[in-house]
Each structure stands twice: as structure tokens, then as C-alpha cells.
Amino acid sequence: MTEREFLFTKQDFDKLRKLVNEHTGIKLSDHKQEMLYSRLSRRLRILNLKSFSKYYELLQKDGGEELAHFINAMTTNLTAFFREPHHFELLERVLLPKLLIKKQETHRLRIWSAGCASGEEAYSIAMVVKEIVPTHWDVKILATDLDSSVLAKGKKGVYEEERIEGISRIRLRRWFKKGAGTQTGRVQILPDLQELITFKHLNLMHGWPMRGPFDIIFCRNVIIYFEKSTQKILFERFANILDNESYLLIGHSENLFQLNTRFRLLQQTVYING
């Protein structure tokens, strides 16, 4: 067996995964030990620490900046533009047209991308909204995540060109600007799209400052990292902040079976509240 760069015992793992659970709600199983070691090793190098026990001691003393680095390292930020495309097709063909009828008196729409990572999901939603919803409507998209570093990227709206390979030419021309000079190989989201979205740091396990009600919540491939008791709490909170007859979209490997009775299934991974 290869000798580790840093001393890392089972006790270290147990202490750190408990800390992960306390601050994020994510429950790490025993087989995640190598993943935790890999993700946190960079922090130990930067801090010039020799063991994970010393790192744990630092986290206990420093409740601020290093704790944020710790949380950022442990949260998963896999995302893409129009990931799980059937949701965006449904948004375009069914959900938004229904909401345009339902909300024709108020002309108000509120959408939440919960666990937005670096913003690709929120911008994908915004593209569909801009293409479907009349310009005079009051539409706002809230994009939240636990990881402050990826939120900063989302707010900036600059992406590598390979990130946009699956987007149609029409949308590329309408919503993206190619970088030049030092920005060659990158694209910038146009301000017209950015103005729809507010990026905010939010821990789903803590208090939610927004009041809602929301018409659509995207919370995809997020709850899979929580234990069942936490999932029940989160789905109840989502139900409370959604308007009646509004929509919750979750990831392809997630479901609400035996977790909440306030939602009914519209189609796989898409639920209606009320």
C-alpha cells in the first residue's frame, strides 16, 4: 500500500465527516474516506500541516475562513448547461405556458435554482424564460449554493468554450459573447440574461431569508447527499415556500417516495405542490 502524504486515521475521518454533516447535512459513508482525503489534502499543503488531526484542530479554532474552504472542498459541483435536458423541454412546453395562464393577473414569476453550483443551471433556466415569457413580466431567478467559490464564478458569468458545446447556435448567438485577447477560449453571458438572476450563498440546512412564494424550484442532484430524515425536512420546507400548484424538479436518481405527501408526481422527477 502506498504511504500517504499526510497522517490520516479512521478517527480523523470520523471527526471530519461529523463536521461535514453538522455544517452541510451531507452524510459521508465509510467508503468516502479516500474521497475526503483527496479533497482536503490540498488544504493541508497550503496550510503546511502534516496531519488531518492538526487540520481538524484548526477547523475547531477557526470558525470562519478555513471552515468556508472546508465546506467548498467537500461539496460536489458537477453541473452543465441544460443538464438533464428533458426538464428544460418541459419548462418550455408545459410548465411556463401553464404559469403564464395561472399568473396572468399578477405577471409575477419566481424561480429558485437550489444548489446552482457555478450557475449553468440558472442561466439555462433564464434562457428558456427569456424565450417564452413576455418582456413586461416581473420575473426573478434566485440561484443559491453552499460553495462560495463556485457562486462567484456563476455571478461573473464567464465560462470556457468547451462548456457550451451542447448549446444550439441560436442560443449561442443570442446569449453569449466570445472572449478576445486574454479571454480567448472563454465566453461571457450577456447582461440581458444576467439581470434575471440573483446569486446568493445559502446553506439549505440553515434559515432561509427569502419568503417566496416560488413557482418553480430546481433542486437537482442535491438531496441525494442527505440522509432520509434531512430529506424529509427539506421537502417539507420546499412545500412551504412553493405557491399552490407549483413545481419541484429533482435529479434523475432522486424521488419523494415515502418522504413527503404534499407533492404529487407530474412525471418522473417532476412534482406538483398542493
Which residue numbers are catalytic? 39, 145
Q: Which three cell numbers stand for residue 269?
A: 422527477
Q: Is 170 exposed, middle or buried (0-12, 13-18, 19+ CB in 10 A)?
A: exposed
CB 249 within 8 A of CB 216: yes
- The widest CA-to-CA distance across the chain, in whole angstroms, is 67
- Report CA torsion sign: 95, 126, 118, 179: positive
Alpha helices in 4-119 (DSSP H): 10-24, 33-47, 52-61, 65-74, 85-90, 96-102
Contacts of 102 (CB under 8 A, 6+ apart): 245
Q: Is 206 exposed, middle or buried (0-12, 13-18, 19+ CB in 10 A)?
A: exposed
How many of the other CB atoms lie within 10 Å of CB of 35? Answer: 13
